[in-house]
Amino acid sequence: MGLTSSYEIGTVGAAFIGAGNREDLLDVITLISPVDTPLFTMFRKTKVSNIGTEWLVDKLDMAATNSVAEGSDAAFNDAVARVRLSNYTQISREAYNVSDTQRANNPAGVKDELRYTMGKGLKQWKRDVEHDIIAGNTASAASTRCARGIHQWLAGFSSVTANVAAANTANHLQEDDLNTRLMAVWTVGGMVDLVVVTPTQKKQISTNFAGSANSRRNAPITENSVTNVVDWYMSDFGNVKILPHRWITSAAPGTLNLQRVSYCLQSDKWVIGFLRPPKNIPLAKTGSSEKAMVEGEWTLICLHPSANAFVSGHHSGTFSDNFPSN
């Protein structure tokens, strides 16, 4: 509060009549930015030992009539060649610093500004990794290495994806299109248990799928309830959880708008490999502030791409309410 020589004590309506009033600042900080990371949390974790991680996939011959004559010699088929898949580790980092002056202050809602900022950094790190799991780049060994994300795994390696743009006049995920992908995965030997969609498509499933009346619901139905939600879809080829995902972006690498894609996943075929698990790392003090970073090195292992699929081509455009602004 500035001083003025013309101020007179007791003047009616003086600007500083309340100068002695104490502020009322609650000792609470409210953060509503979403911090859920369902795929990062759900997928199994493992340790990797190199920046390049490789694994093998195999298959059997087609089933066929198998009848041989008694006493006949064995006929040998050529072995089916195994295929080697790979991905690179990606370094993800969230750096922060807090001035010594700020740490010496007594801000509302925070006992230690550095520890509070570290907590935010860990949450931000997980959110960024979740984003790159679903919508990340293609695998790259460049100086800034990138791990291949789910979309690039399925677009480049799954045999059962589908773009239905030409036939999908309704511009939304259609029940028949979803069932066709579930059947395609089942036919080659997979079993989808998770369908990952944007909020727009989650509403579409709950509202417009013909089978929604017979689907499992997670809310108890009472005489005073109106229920319009589908969290589990019971199909001919398995019961699948419908997961609305916050981080399916319209600004994916290249020209892709991933908000026009829904993903059918077999969750146990995905593993997150850590070369360096995330941890908080204090940095050298070079002035009157404390510096640190949260850093980890990870990769996404798809044990078999064709146990998964996606349906693309629905609902054109970009929807601001599909992707959080904070």
Domain holding 124: CATH number? 3.90.1690.10
Print the SS3 string covering 216-248.
CCCCCCCCCCCCCCCCEEEECCEEEEEEECCCC
Nearest to 126 by CA among 291, 258, 326, 298: 298
Q: Residues 269-288: what's their mean pLDDT? A: 95
Q: What are phi and psi of 197, to 5 degrees?
A: -140, 165
Virtual torsion, Cα 241, 220, 198, 233, nearest 10 deg: 30
Residues 159, 185 contacting (CB under 8 angstroms) = no
Q: Residue 104: pLDDT above 60?
A: yes
Question: Is residue 64 situated within a structural domain?
Answer: no
What pLDDT is attached to residue 129?
Answer: 96
Question: Is residue 28 situated within a structural domain?
Answer: no
pLDDT in tens, 135-187: 888 888 888 999 999 999 998 888 777 665 444 445 788 888 899 999 999 99
Nearest to 280 by CA among 118, 120, 126, 128: 118
Residues 192, 182 contacting (CB under 8 angstroms) = yes
pLDDT in tens, 207-265: 888 765 455 555 555 555 444 567 899 999 999 999 999 988 877 666 677 888 899 99
The C-alpha atoms of residue 174 and residue 281 are separated, in whole angstroms, by 47
Q: Residue 13: pLDDT above 60?
A: no
Structural domain count of the chain:
1
Give me the numbers of helices (H) and strands (E) for the chain, helices first please.
Answer: 6, 12
Token pair for 195: 């369908």
What pLDDT is attached to residue 32?
Answer: 77
The amino acid at 33: S
Place of tokens 């979803």: 178
Its domain, for residue 261, covers 38-58+82-318
**What's this model's pTM, rounded to 2 decimal places?**
0.84
Rounded to 10 deg, the angle between the 150-157 and 113-135 helix axes is 10
Q: Residue 72: pLDDT above 90?
A: yes
Question: Is residue 67 situated within a structural domain?
Answer: no
What are the angstrom distances between the C-alpha of 234 and each of 124, 180, 204, 208, 240? 35, 14, 16, 15, 7
Nearest to 184 by CA among 309, 270, 302: 309
Q: Residue 44: pLDDT above 60?
A: yes
CA 72 to chain centre: 56
Question: Is residue 14 situated within a structural domain?
Answer: no
The C-alpha atoms of residue 311 and residue 313 are separated, in whole angstroms, by 7
What pLDDT is attached to residue 228?
Answer: 53
Residues 155, 161 contacting (CB under 8 angstroms) = yes
The amino acid at 281: I
The C-alpha atoms of residue 27 and residue 10 are separated, in whole angstroms, by 34
Question: Is residue 175 situated within a structural domain?
Answer: yes
Indicate the pLDDT class of residue 291, thresholds 50, 70 and 90.
very high
Question: Is residue 66 situated within a structural domain?
Answer: no
Q: Residues 41-49: what's their mean pLDDT? A: 95
Q: Percent of the chain beyond pLDDT 90?
A: 48
Question: Is residue 3 situated within a structural domain?
Answer: no
Lowest mean pLDDT: which of 44-48, 122-126, 137-141, 145-149?
A: 137-141
What pLDDT is attached to residue 79?
Answer: 73
Q: Percent of the chain beyond pLDDT 70?
A: 82
Question: Is residue 16 situated within a structural domain?
Answer: no
Residues in the chain: 326
What are the angstrom distances between the C-alpha of 320 and each of 39, 132, 198, 204, 324? 22, 19, 11, 17, 8
